[in-house]
Amino acid sequence: MRENIEFRTEDGVTLRGWFYPAQGVAGPAPTIVMAHGFSAVREMHLDDFAEYFSRHGLACLVYDHRNLGASDGSPHGHVDPVAQIRGYRDAISHAETLPGVDPARIGIWGSSYSGGHVLVVAAIDRRVKAVVSQVPLVGGLEAARRLIRGDYWAGLRANFDADRRARLQGAAPAMIPVVDEGNGPSALPTPDSWAFFDNHRRTHPDTTWVNAVTLHSVELFAEYEPWPHIPRIGPTPLMMVVARDDHLTPADMTLAAYETALEPKSLLVLPCGHFDAYTGAMFARSAPAQADWFSRHL
């Protein structure tokens, strides 16, 4: 049975989530720290992964990033990759203090945007003993160039600059939808992004997810480059899960990035798109492989 938890970051922001004790384990257990991707909240299928891992002897700490979901932080909807990376490290520190956790056997799991975060955290924080990075963002600028038409870039950068000047003068940050059903501006401008988030909103009327992020979040997305950290992860064991038909975090970029990782490493390629990796047959294929990876290396 999961427990509600909260903990404070080093700079004093309260993050909230769930703790899943490891089932069938006597004594301190290996533990996975988990968070979601760009703007997403823990109810978007992280509970499915955590429940599966828990049933297979792995405790899980699942939480919402700052400024998102049930966690505190201002402005709400501001997605800062550096702050989220620090949040992972604070979550590891909190996990080390929990009853039932073996602080010497902590792994990290991330997907999409946080799939990039765990690559960075695993490279710089040696408390991490194993990592799974699912459909990760490995290069923000190249991914953004593929998502945004070339003739839109000049106007978008002008908007970034105007927002920065306005914030410096004390104005509230400009906001942009995460997804849009039509052709309007959005942070994740793909039909499958709309389908994923809209389906969650319709099936979870009490959701804490909000269809808005700061425009600055998009600028930070385009500046974010986890790729150079990948060769520094080893000898920490790395598993990367790639969706073959992914065009949000393009599969060819992820596969090329995987080749730069040192051993021990493992690659799982799923025959699906980005969001299919969370559910159905792809979850049934991927979750056991991920649990086995953590179990073997923790």
- pLDDT, residue 140, reads 97
Omega within 30 of 0 (cis) for the link into 136 = no
Distance of CA 40 to the CA centre of its chain: 8
pLDDT at position 62 over 80? yes
- Does domain 3-139+225-297 match CATH 3.40.50.720? no
Residue ranges covered by each domain of the chain: 3-139+225-297
Q: What is the pLDDT of residues 164-182, one digit of tens each?
A: 999 999 999 999 999 999 8
State pTM to two decimals: 0.97
Query: pLDDT band at 184, cuts 50/70/90?
Result: confident
pLDDT > 70: what percent of the chain?
100
Residue 293 phi, psi (nearest 5): -60, -50
Nearest to 128 by CA among 98, 99, 108, 101: 108
The β-bridge relationship of strands 175-176 and 101-111 is unpaired
Q: How far is CA 192 from the centre of its chain?
A: 17
CA distances from 195 to 176, 178, 208 (A): 18, 12, 17
Q: What contacts 235, CB < 8 A, 6 or more positions away? A: 262, 263, 264
Q: What's the rounded Cα separation, in Å, for the pair 156 and 159? A: 5
Q: Give me the pLDDT at residue 222, please.
A: 97
Tokens 């009327």, residue? 205
Q: pLDDT at position 89, please?
A: 98
In a 3-state reduction of DSSP, which class is residue 80?
A: coil
Average pLDDT over residues 214-225: 98
Residues 80-138 pLDDT 10s:
999 999 999 999 999 999 999 999 999 999 999 999 999 999 999 999 999 999 999 99
Q: Report whether 157 contacts 222 (CB < 8 A).
A: no
